[in-house]
């Protein structure tokens, strides 16, 4: 047994093996680069690749989309619960509740076989967008809009939110963001999911735990926090003064830095062009100029490149999406990666149980309460 190693936050520690993706030398999903996938694939093809191990043939894609369409429904009792959750509850909290609740109506809930876990993963992939859109509409005093089996998952997200047929341009932008957010090796929320299912717990418990982990602003919650930064800065003209002041106060600038990518997040690089194009089409050039100024100064002063959340927040803003939906959109995509890891863990499981270095009091004698 090798001497136990200790690394705060498990930095640099190899905590397991996976065949699903690697972040070494760029981001690769089961051998395909995310640049190729974002350029040429649809999110459904990428979801099939991550869950089933291969890009689908036309027949397999049609069958996969057919299963998603069959699963694209949520129990009326859950929709009624979504209407009863108090106004103002963050959408990420609603997603956490819904992922857990959906288990109660899933006939495979107690079955941890590979086939059942795949079915449950496909159910959640189709159901979570419906939950998010239904809650969004109910919270705005509108009735939910039914899923349209003729649209893609990306197109349905926009259709069910706005009841307006999405332009091909916006549906494609959403699709690209879902591909880029889908999977990222042993990030905190994925690792949380693997820890939970390593006890032989179930898919829904693992996904619920992952949503809880993703919510934090050091992780998925950063894309909403990035929008807070951009709103606080206000205009490109104020950007330099704002960022220099923030850095002088040692503030953590949301959307920058990464535990693994030290020379840049390839996903952020990929989204840069799409962001710029959509900004021009929607009249948000000033926000792009603001972002450029902040990015240049954070890079030069702190040596910190932007991560995916830095451009994705702007992309969603240009698409007219409310900030409260940004991290839930990350959930709708990452549920694929989480599920793939849960299935992989359960297919070849060993309980995940690390050790801790003890820093508490030395052994001491019992003290009766009268003497304390």
Catalytic residues: 258, 309
- With respect to ligand SDX, which residue has the nearer C-beta, 61 or 247? 247
254 part of the interface to ligand SDX, by CB under 6 A: yes
- Chosen residue from 43, 64, 159, 256 binding ligand SDX by CB under 6 A: 256
- The values of phi and psi at residue 306, to 5°, are -75, 150
243 part of the interface to ligand SDX, by CB under 6 A: no
Helix or strand (DSSP H, E) at 29: strand 28-29
Query: Which residue sits closest to ligand SDX, CB atoms considered?
Result: 257
Task: Tell me which DSSP letter residue 360 carries.
Answer: S
Q: Which of residues 9-38 bind ligand SDX (CB under 6 A)?
A: 9
How many residues make contact with ligand SDX (CB under 6 A)?
21
219 part of the interface to ligand SDX, by CB under 6 A: yes
Q: What separation in angstroms does the CA of 223 have from each of 34, 58, 65, 130, 202?
A: 20, 34, 29, 21, 28
Q: What spatial distance separates the first Cα and last Cα of the chain, rounded to whole Å?
A: 42
Segment interacting with ligand SDX (CB under 6 A) among 97-105, 145-153, 171-179, 304-312: 304-312
Segment interacting with ligand SDX (CB under 6 A) among 73-81, 133-141, 227-235, 248-256: 248-256
Instruction: Round to whole Å and give the CA distance between 122 and 336.
Output: 8
- Chosen residue from 129, 144, 155, 257 binding ligand SDX by CB under 6 A: 257
- Chosen residue from 107, 302, 320, 354 binding ligand SDX by CB under 6 A: 302
Q: Which of residues 152-191 bind ligand SDX (CB under 6 A)?
A: 184, 187
Residue 137, Cβ neighbours under 10 Å: how many?
19
- 287 within 8 A of 238, measured Cβ to Cβ: no
Biggest CA pair distance of the chain? 77
- With respect to ligand SDX, which residue has the nearer C-beta, 119 or 219? 219
- With respect to ligand SDX, which residue has the nearer C-beta, 67 or 259? 259
Q: Which of 127, 86, 136 is nearest to 103 (CA)?
A: 127
Sign for the CA dihedral angle at 137, 209, 308, 256 comes to positive
Instruction: Give residues in contact with ligand SDX (CB under 6 A).
Output: 9, 184, 187, 218-220, 222, 252-260, 302, 304, 307-309
């Amino acid at each position: 047994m090798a001497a136990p190693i200790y690394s705060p936050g498990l930095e640099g520690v190899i905590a397991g093996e996976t065949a699903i993706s690697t972040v070494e030398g760029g981001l690769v999903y089961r051998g395909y680069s995310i640049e190729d996938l974002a350029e040429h694939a649809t999110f459904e093809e990428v979801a099939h690749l991550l869950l089933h191990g291969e890009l689908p043939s036309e027949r397999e894609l049609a069958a996969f989309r057919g299963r998603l369409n069959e699963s694209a429904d949520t129990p009326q009792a859950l929709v009624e619960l979504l209407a009863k959750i108090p106004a103002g509850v963050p959408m990420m909290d609603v997603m956490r509740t819904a992922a857990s609740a959906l288990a109660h109506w899933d006939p495979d809930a107690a079955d941890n076989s590979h086939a059942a876990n795949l079915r449950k993963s496909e159910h959640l992939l189709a159901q979570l967008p419906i939950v998010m859109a239904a809650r969004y509409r109910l919270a705005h005093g509108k009735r939910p809009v039914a899923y349209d089996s003729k649209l893609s998952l990306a197109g349905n997200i926009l259709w069910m939110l706005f009841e307006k047929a999405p332009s091909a341009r916006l549906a494609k932008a959403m699709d690209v963001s879902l591909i880029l957010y889908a999977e990222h090796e042993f990030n905190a929320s994925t690792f949380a999911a693997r820890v939970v299912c390593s006890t032989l717990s179930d898919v829904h418990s693992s996904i619920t735990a992952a949503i809880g982990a993703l919510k934090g602003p050091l992780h998925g919650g950063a894309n909403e926090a990035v929008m807070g930064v951009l709103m606080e800065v206000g205009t490109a003209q104020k950007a330099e003064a704002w960022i220099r002041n923030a850095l002088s106060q040692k503030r953590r600038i949301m959307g920058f830095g990464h535990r693994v990518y030290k020379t840049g997040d390839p996903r952020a690089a990929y989204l840069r062009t799409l962001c710029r194009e959509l900004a021009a089409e929607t009249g948000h050039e000033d926000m792009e100029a603001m972002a450029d100024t902040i990015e240049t100064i954070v890079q030069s002063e702190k040596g910190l490149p932007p991560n995916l959340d830095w451009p994705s927040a702007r992309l969603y803003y240009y698409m007219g999406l409310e900030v409260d939906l940004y991290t839930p959109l990350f959930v709708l995509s990452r549920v694929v990666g989480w599920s793939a890891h849960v299935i992989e863990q359960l297919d070849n499981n060993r309980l995940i149980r690390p050790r801790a270095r003890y820093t508490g009091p030395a052994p001491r004698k019992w003290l009766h309460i009268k003497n304390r």
